[in-house]
Structure 1
Amino acid sequence: MRDSSSGDVPGAGNALLRQAVGLAGEPLLEQVERVQCREGQVLHEPDDVMRHVYFPVDGLVSLLHVMESGNFAETALVGNDGVVGVALVMGGESMPLRAQVHVGGQLCRLRSDVLRQCLVEVPAMQQLFLRYAQTLLTQMGQVAACNRHHTLDQQFSRRLLMSLDRLPLQELRMTQESVAQMLGVRRESVTLAANKLHKAGVIRYSRGLIRVLDRDSLEGLTCECYAVMGRELQRLSRRPVDVRHEGSFVGLRTDGAVKARHAAADGDSEGFANAADGAHGRRRGGDRRHASDRRCRGIAISFPDRRLRTERRKSNPES
């Protein structure tokens, strides 16, 4: 999957990755690699441990519910606005969904352990990715409602608009069969919906290439689900990330020098300072000094068990 011929900056082209690099800096960008994926390629199966997260650039990835019969239906779409692998941000390592490339193209890949460490070292990254997780949950719920209550023509229009919003061009290369699989309907039904839009002059469809000619008309033909998802995405993406307690990402190094730099950057990071002091501080009586400081700041510390004192008095009445 590695695209060895690509020498450009791997962070470009994906809005979420661009924001993440802006918070974490160049060390995160150095861990990103650009890969090329083809249509139909599976990034991970349901319940697979995610070893990488993927940031689409000019491709689309579908998150699919797969049934025991082998049939599947799309529950969410990820493009250049987000990431495949948001479960890692919420404390999980897998999801009961298949991630499958729907429109082939370039994706930026990042190792899962790198992302986890970056989330710990740069607190603002948690906000950024959790906000995207909220938009993804909104999309999943709205798609489920749309598939239940709206016509296939509305669903098809909504799916086209969602795809266009997550691609750099206003055209799509996909087959009617692949769209039918994502929507969980018959191929003939998608053919009828596409022909209606083609005859109305809204789209031009030829040999798997869909070009939108009249976007305003296409938005008028879709249901309210498209607007609901769009408003939520804009609302959360426009809110500034709180960087008052910002840290810095230094890569996968965890030695004492790195922790000491974190402690110097943040005076409240007592845990990092203690780790950097190590055994030398304890031999110099560092633990006693830290305990004294904690008492002055009113932080609770442990005391000997009072039951031991009572038992000692009983065994030695003269004391």
Structure 2
Amino acid sequence: MLPRNNGVLAAIGEDCDLLRPHLREVTLKAGQVLCEPGEPVRHVWFPHSGAISKLITFEDGSEIECALIGREGAVGAASVLGLRRAVTRDICHIEARAARLEAPRLIEARDASPRIQEVIEQYLVRKLCLAIRNGACNARHSVEQRLSRWLLTCSDVLESDEIALPQEVFAKMLGVQRTSVNPTLRALQAAGAVALARSRVAIRDRGALKGHACECYEAMRRDQGLSGAPPEAKPTAAARAHPA
């Protein structure tokens, strides 16, 4: 297993040897739920690919995303701060590979390694800043702005211009009705920013899509130390077939 495939493990460096014997490589299926609110936090997941959403759920069954995590991060890392029960529904929307670690093992390694403690704390601070910004964005900005921002963020996480998700998932992530998402996607397609296909969206023109997004996209990248050019996305068949 290559720690460099995950940003947190790569940042830990040589002290990752404390974790390596306990890491288990797993495949996460699309739609697989890793943890439900109120359940004990038993594992920490370090994605090597794919995307995992952390959702706030409400009594009426509705949900909204508060964080999207890819291979730059970790799911369940807050257990090192004493979080024993999950407060979000963690679900893998796109099939992923990940390293799974029993939560107590991370706590033991943190106690033995100042480097592990530093990396995990810095990561959690960045995620807290993103969650605060995400909450403000949901309250302030339009569906078009938030959807454009989410598509760009998801593309960055997946390192691909193609997002293989049905539109009802987009609606759930934003906490809106699908009837709000469909016309917005069609408008973005008409503007040349995206190309739509069955259960997938391909970004055709990142600059155009950024023009429809709110300032939160760039602000969130700055909070993560990613300001500047976005990661180079892999070309997709849809994008090649419909050049901007």
Q: TM-score range by the shorter chain?
A: 0.7 to 0.9
Q: Secondary structure at the match of 2:158?
A: coil
* 1:85 maps onto 2:76 in alignment: yes
User: Cα RMSD (Å) of the superposition?
Assistant: 1.7
Q: Hey, what does 1:204 align to over in structure 2?
A: 195
Q: Secondary structure at the match of 2:54?
A: strand
* Larger CA deviation: 166-175 vs 178-187: 166-175
Q: Which has the higher contact order (CA 8 A, sep 6+)?
A: 2
* Superposition pairs of residues 7-156 of structure 1, within 5 angstroms: 9-20=1-12, 22-156=13-147
Q: Distance in 2 between matches of 1:176 and 1:147?
A: 18
Q: Where do 5+ consecutive residues of structure 2 fail to align?
A: 227-244
Q: Where do 5+ consecutive residues of structure 1 fail to align?
A: 1-8, 236-319
Which of the two has higher C-alpha Rg?
1
Asked whether the equivalents of residues 10 and 32 of structure 1 are also in contact (C-alpha less than 8 Å), the reply is no
Q: Hey, what does 2:165 align to over in structure 1?
A: 174
Q: Distance in 1 between matches of 2:16 and 2:25?
A: 18
Asked whether the equivalents of residues 35 and 108 of structure 1 are also in contact (C-alpha less than 8 Å), the reply is yes
Q: Hey, what does 1:186 align to over in structure 2?
A: 177
Q: Distance in 2 between matches of 1:205 and 1:105?
A: 23
CA deviation map 1:1-41 (0-9, x unaligned): xxxxxxxx253421112222x14143422321221112221
Q: Distance in 2 between matches of 1:173 and 1:25?
A: 32
Q: 1:101 to 1:149 in 2, by over 3 A?
A: same
Q: Distance in 2 between matches of 1:27 and 1:120?
A: 11
Asked whether the equivalents of residues 35 and 86 of structure 2 are also in contact (C-alpha less than 8 Å), the reply is no
Q: Distance in 2 between matches of 1:42 and 1:35?
A: 14
Q: TM-score, normalised by structure 1?
A: 0.68
Q: TM-score, normalised by structure 2?
A: 0.88
Q: Distance in 1 between matches of 2:46 and 2:3?
A: 9
Q: Report the residue type matching 1:154 in the other structure.
A: Q
Deviation at 1:190, TM superposition (A): 0.8
Asked whether the equivalents of residues 161 and 202 of structure 2 are also in contact (C-alpha less than 8 Å), the reply is yes
Q: Report the residue type matching 2:131 in the other structure.
A: M
Deviation at 1:151, TM superposition (A): 0.7
Q: Distance in 2 between matches of 1:89 and 1:227?
A: 29
Asked whether the equivalents of residues 60 and 103 of structure 1 are also in contact (C-alpha less than 8 Å), the reply is yes
Number of equivalences: 227
Q: Distance in 1 between matches of 2:22 and 2:68?
A: 25
Aligned identity (percent) is 34
Q: Secondary structure at the match of 2:209?
A: helix
Q: Which one has a larger percent strand, Structure 1 or Structure 2?
A: 2
Q: Distance in 2 between matches of 1:189 and 1:80?
A: 30
Asked whether the equivalents of residues 203 and 212 of structure 1 are also in contact (C-alpha less than 8 Å), the reply is yes
Q: Distance in 2 between matches of 1:25 and 1:136?
A: 21
Q: Distance in 2 between matches of 1:168 and 1:43?
A: 22
Q: Distance in 1 between matches of 2:190 and 2:144?
A: 14
Q: 1:73 to 1:128 in 2, by over 3 A?
A: same
